[in-house]
Amino acid sequence: MREINFRERRECKGKEINFEMKITNLANLSEANFAEFKNEVANHKTLGQVLTWASAKPKDEFLSQIVSEVITQDEFTHDVVIPYKNLFLVYDTT
């Protein structure tokens, strides 16, 4: 399995919004490892949730600063790079 898509529709401040997240296995993890990883990150809907999750994990799984880099794509879009175990998680935020 190379890619997984999550879609959800929610209400926020009286408006209906669509949430979509795509997880791509660029590290060529085995099916079992990718499934385990997917279960770890499937509920990350906001950057705040990512940081809360990372803060609660054992310290040997993250660098001390958690976010290693923020790459500006344009004025609205940023990639947030988070080292996790022997991988780099990249969250495309808008």
Task: Print the domain residue range for 34.
Answer: 1-42
62 and 88 housed in the same domain? yes
In this structure, the answer to whether residues 38 and 77 fall within a common structural domain is no
> How does pLDDT run across 27-71, given as a tens digit for each residue?
888 988 888 888 888 778 788 888 888 888 888 887 767 788 888
Same-domain check for residues 20 and 37 = yes
pTM, entire model: 0.67
Q: Is 73 left (phi over 0), alpha (psi -120 to 50) or beta?
A: alpha
Whether residue 49 is found in the same domain as residue 18: no
Read off the amino acid at residue 89. Answer: L
- Residue 90 is predicted with a pLDDT of 85
Instruction: Indicate the DSSP class of residue 61.
Output: G
Which two structure tokens, joined as six digits, stand for 72?
């500006």
Q: Tell me the average pLDDT across 5-12.
A: 68
